[in-house]
Amino acid sequence: MTAPLSVALIGFGFVGSTFHAPYLVTTPGLELKVVASRHPQKVEEALAPFDATARVIASPLEAATCDGIDLVVIASPNESHFALAKAALEAGKHVVVDKPFTLDSIEARELARLAREHKRLLSVFQNRRWDSDFLAMRSALENNLIGEVVEFESRIDRFRPQVRDRWREQALPGSGLWFDLGPHLADQALVLFGPPAEVSATITTNRPAAQVNDWAQVILHYPAQEQQPALTVTLHASMLSAVPTPRFMAHGVTGSLLKRGADGQEDQLKEGASPLDEHFGVDNDPLLHYQSEGEPAALATPRGTQARYYADVRDAIAGTAANPVSPTQATTLMVLLETAQQAAVSGKRLPLALNDDERNAWSQRVR
């Protein structure tokens, strides 16, 4: 049997402790050996239900370059992603970076170059590619249930009128709602439809005490081509939505799709569930398929499988699977995120400045 990959996890805040640690300690072939955190007791208590332990060190840089570590997972604040990933790659480690990949496309392309130079896997934790709601919508579109899609809407809306005392809501590089939820919304759109021709956006601050943006509406514009009609994709995120809004809506030339409820894996993890639990990822809220007449058909929603990400990373390192989120795809996403910011400031539609590899990195898309 092949020895398990030794893993160092940098950062044990909400994302590191809630998402990465449970998936790392329950994925066969991975062994969490080191955690970079200033709170060793928190790490010990979080790993105890999984019968797992790890050496806790205070220095993120030491964890990124630690001897005997095969894979470094970076779940620290966004502004630290580039420096830590660079150090890990230069030390010969495989690297997973939590979203957003970097602060901009310049950093993203440099990390992609380093990964190629050092022949190491570099991937980004876009876990919501394996959300139940997205899997349901993707399957329906791939099976052409509503014909050519002309309008698609994706929303992650919350009601948090009070600004929290956390770095994501402070005036720091990489903070704000667009860099928090935007990577999920935009990555899912890219998986489905590939890069748009142009982007327009409104990204603003609505809560009086907010230091950074807490509302975003970004429009991806896809022109008509050959036998395909034009497509408009709306990405929406808000911190002031007390009314439940649909997670997804899609309208095509032969019908519509509606997914009201969101994937529940995050809530399950926050409640202490294990990814190995029997009902983990189960979503009983159906995808609704509307046609011209009659009641909508309720289609069963697939089980969410975010844990598959790390299984795919393990297999990609072994050379038996593709990188689940390649550096080229991650760089495309960074270009989209920063172009939306520029469009919001200018008030104009802007094209994406992609190279051919970045534009062609989405061969499995629906459109």
CB neighbour list of residue 214: distance below 8 Å, 6 or more residues apart: 169, 176, 177, 205, 206, 207, 238, 239, 240
- Distance from C-alpha of 268 to C-alpha of 123, rounded to nearest angstrom: 25
Tell me if residue 30 falls in helix, strand or coil: strand
Say what the pLDDT of residue 21 is.
98
The full set of domain ranges for the chain reads 5-125, 129-305+336-359
Pairing mode, strands 94-98 and 122-125: parallel
State the first-to-last Cα distance of the chain, in angstroms, to the nearest integer.
42
Q: What are the E-state strand segments in 80-132?
A: 94-98, 122-125
Class of CATH domain 129-305+336-359? alpha beta
Q: Return the closest-CA partner of residue 82 out of 108, 63, 115.
A: 108
pLDDT in tens, 287-345: 999 998 889 999 999 999 999 999 999 999 999 999 999 999 999 999 999 999 999 99
Say what the pLDDT of residue 305 is.
98
Backbone angles phi, psi at 34, to 5 degrees: -135, 140
- Distance from C-alpha of 107 to C-alpha of 131, rounded to nearest angstrom: 28
| Two structure tokens written together for 69 | 């570590």
Backbone angles phi, psi at 180, to 5 degrees: -90, -60
Low-confidence ranges of the chain (pLDDT < 70): 1
Pairing mode, strands 215-222 and 71-74: unpaired
H/E stretch holding 316 reads helix 308-318
pLDDT in tens, 184-202: 999 999 999 999 999 999 9
Whose structure tokens read 């955690």? 35
Class of CATH domain 5-125? alpha beta
Q: What percent of the chain has pLDDT over 90?
A: 95
Say what the pLDDT of residue 1 is.
55
Whose structure tokens read 């172009």? 339
Q: Are 5 and 70 in contact (CB under 8 A)?
A: yes
Is residue 223 packed enough to be buried (19+ CB in 10 Å), middle (13-18) or exposed (0-12)?
exposed
Is residue 255 packed enough to be buried (19+ CB in 10 Å), middle (13-18) or exposed (0-12)?
middle
Give the global pTM.
Answer: 0.96
pLDDT in tens, 202-231: 999 999 999 999 999 999 999 999 889 999
| Two structure tokens written together for 288 | 């609704």
Alpha carbon of 232 to those of 29, 85, 134, 148, 150: distances in Å?
42, 35, 18, 12, 6
| Cis status, amide bond into 100, omega within 30 of 0 | yes
CB neighbour list of residue 355: distance below 8 Å, 6 or more residues apart: none
- Distance from C-alpha of 131 to C-alpha of 152, rounded to nearest angstrom: 17
